[in-house]
Amino acid sequence: MKQWLLVLLSILVVGCSTFKQPFKPEFFRENPVIVPVILSNEDQMNFFCGGALPPNKKRLACAWIPLLEKEPCRIFLYHNSSKETIKHEEDHCRYGRWHD
Over residues 10-35, the pLDDT tens digits come to: 433 444 544 444 466 788 888 889 99
Domain assignment present for residue 81? The answer is yes
Domain assignment present for residue 100? The answer is no
Evaluate whether 22 touches 50 at the Cβ level (below 8 Å): no
Domain assignment present for residue 71? The answer is yes
Q: Report which of residues 98 and 8 the model is more confident about.
A: 98
Across the chain, mean pLDDT equals 78
Residue closest to 60 by CA, chosen among 20, 97, 13: 13
Q: Report which of residues 70 and 38 the model is more confident about.
A: 38
Is the pLDDT assigned to residue 7 strictly greater than 60? no
Residue span of the structural domain in which 56 resides: 2-95
Domain assignment present for residue 56? The answer is yes
How many folded domains does the chain comprise? 1
Domain assignment present for residue 54? The answer is yes
pLDDT at 16: 54
Give me the helices (H) in 26-68, please: 42-49
